[in-house]
Amino acid sequence: MRINVSQQLKASIGSIRNYELSQVVDITGGGSMVQGAVNLMRTDRGILVKGTLNTEVEVTCSRCLGLFGCPLALNIEEEYFPTTDVVSGAGLPSPDEPGCFTIDEHHVLDLTEVIRQYTLLAVPMKPLCRQDCAGLCPDCGHNLNHGPCGCLSHRADPRWSKLDRLALASDVSVNKEKGTG
């Protein structure tokens, strides 16, 4: 996702250009469609990129381990620094800020690395394919989103057995009352 900013580098500080972007970007080994709009503003030091880009990456559900497309909105705000003077063509000293983004010697501003970094930050730590994902059966590994697996173990869950006994006890007492009445 590359934008030539040579004209804007010659423009006065504060000048803004808008770009509509729609492109497949290689983010995490696979291409992801990235769409949205960004503003590029000429600053005293370089170009400030602001905007929201939408993309979708394939992630693994932390509960059922199924792959699903996770939509992400990337709120980007990064300043890019030129490495070459746009008028004289002379090399510029690299900025002090470590890890900052640069505009290359052809005055091209490349958003790919910013998109990749923002995407990695935006992906949830424990992604869920849906809020009520049923997960996997701990015994047979069946994906319970596709229906019950038939394992008896769920009924033998110790959290439920106490309730079962209570239900059983109340049934018995009801029967007794009926019997005496």
Residues of this chain that bind Zn ion (CB under 5 A): 61, 63-64, 129, 133, 137, 139-140, 142, 149, 151
CA 166 to CA 180: how far, in whole Å?
21
Contact yes or no for 50/118 (Cβ under 8 A): no
Shortest separation between residue 147's beta carbon and Zn ion, angstroms: 11
Shortest separation between residue 66's beta carbon and Zn ion, angstroms: 5
* CB of 35 or CB of 153, closer to Zn ion: 153
CA 132 to CA 129: how far, in whole Å?
9
* CB of 150 or CB of 179, closer to Zn ion: 150
* CB of 58 or CB of 171, closer to Zn ion: 58
* CB of 48 or CB of 149, closer to Zn ion: 149
Q: Alpha helices, DSSP H only, in the chain?
A: 6-10, 112-122, 158-180
Question: Sign of the CA dihedral 137, 141, 146, 147?
Answer: negative
* CB of 122 or CB of 151, closer to Zn ion: 151
With b meaning 16 or more CB within 10 Å and e meaning fewer, what string describes 94-116? Answer: ebeeeeebbbeeebebebeebbe
Tokens representing 21 are: 């972007």
Shortest separation between residue 131's beta carbon and Zn ion, angstroms: 10
Shortest separation between residue 26's beta carbon and Zn ion, angstroms: 26
Shortest separation between residue 50's beta carbon and Zn ion, angstroms: 34
